[in-house]
Amino acid sequence: MNYLKTFESFKSVKKSGKIIRHWKKGRGGVTSVMGNISDKDANLNNLMEKLVKRFKVEKVKYMNAGAFGMAFIADGDKIIKLTSNADEAAEVKGLIGKIIPGCVEYYDIVYSKKFDIWAILMQKSESLTKKEEKIFSLLIEYPFTDIENINQDSLFKNPTFDNLTLKKLHKQCNSEIGNISKSEFKSYIKEYIELHHKLDKNEISTNDLHTGNMGRLNGELVHFDIMSGYTGENDLKKISKIKLD
């Protein structure tokens, strides 16, 4: 397999100019990760060169940054995430190799002691459309009562979400987003509640569930970048380390 060999600054990482723009704008994840690297008088090459070999990928393209990390698309169907967040690393360690309904798959995680950065290889999901982002944002803001116990089959007969509430939300949706039929809006609500059910059943927290970490796999709604506040120090110690020169 033809692995990525070297990096001239950011030049061999596609969309590298975007990294520099995000760094200059002070994006949290870029500032955190790149700050750790530059503090060691190194550059992104030193880490990525090892990661593409470890993860057995070839093409790497910068995608975006969050609060604590940077995400790269790898070979089109995977994500390499660099994070400085120990809690996230501990959470991911417990998900490696597991297939959990409502979640992307996590394949591998390694730790760079030199840069104090964890690198995660995970499944790439399809992004939500702009319309879906707006609709799910609206639903996330709605104060569902005891959402884990709402039966989606009888959703609109439930006292916590009756037809009057649906009518009000549907009207708000149309005023903010555009003309969406009642049946289509119902289908989004059912999807959203079904995702909650899947995550709750598998003890995956929805505390940080928002449209920035929701996507689709084979058309189904999924959650990624899971952060439930779990800090498993023992799991952190079990994460294999990647050596850098």
Tens of pLDDT, residues 174-198: 998 888 998 898 889 889 989 988 9
User: How far is Cα 95 from Cα 84, in angstroms, rounded to an integer?
Assistant: 18
- Of the candidates 89, 90, 86, 84, the one whose C-alpha atom is nearest the C-alpha of residue 34 is 84
User: How far is Cα 145 from Cα 18, in angstroms, rounded to an integer?
Assistant: 41
- Of the candidates 76, 85, 75, the one whose C-alpha atom is nearest the C-alpha of residue 126 is 76
Domains of the chain and any CATH numbers: 16-125+236-241 (3.30.200.20), 130-223 (no CATH)
The residue whose two tokens read 């995680």 is: 109
pLDDT over threshold 90, residue 221: yes
Q: What is the per-residue pLDDT for 82?
A: 94
Q: Label residue 75 left, alpha or beta by phi (over 0 means left) and psi (-120 to 50 means alpha).
A: left
* Mean pLDDT within 98-104: 94
Angle (CA) 155-161-166 rounded to 5° is 95
Q: Cα separations (Å) of 168 from 146, 165, 194?
A: 20, 5, 21
Q: What is the per-residue pLDDT for 102?
A: 95
Q: What b/e string do you get for 80-115 counting C-beta neighbours within 10 Å, with b at 16 or more?
A: bbbbbbbbbbbbbbebbeeebebbbbbbbbbbbebb
Residues 6+ apart with CB under 8 A from 229: 87, 205, 207
Beta-strand ranges (E) seen in 59-196 are: 60-65, 69-74, 78-83, 106-112, 117-123, 126-127
pLDDT over threshold 50, residue 7: no
Q: What is the per-residue pLDDT for 8?
A: 41
CA dihedral 81, 14, 75, 92 (to 10 degrees): 0
The count of other CB atoms within 10 Å of the CB of residue 210 is 14
* Mean pLDDT within 58-72: 84
pLDDT over threshold 70, residue 13: no
pLDDT band at 105 (very low <50, low <70, confident <90, very high): very high
Extract the tokens encoding 77.
Answer: 């169907």
Q: What is the per-residue pLDDT for 9?
A: 45
User: What is the distance in angstroms between the CA of the first residue and the CA of the last residue of the chain?
Assistant: 23
pLDDT over threshold 70, residue 234: no
Q: What is the per-residue pLDDT for 225?
A: 85
* Mean pLDDT within 29-57: 79
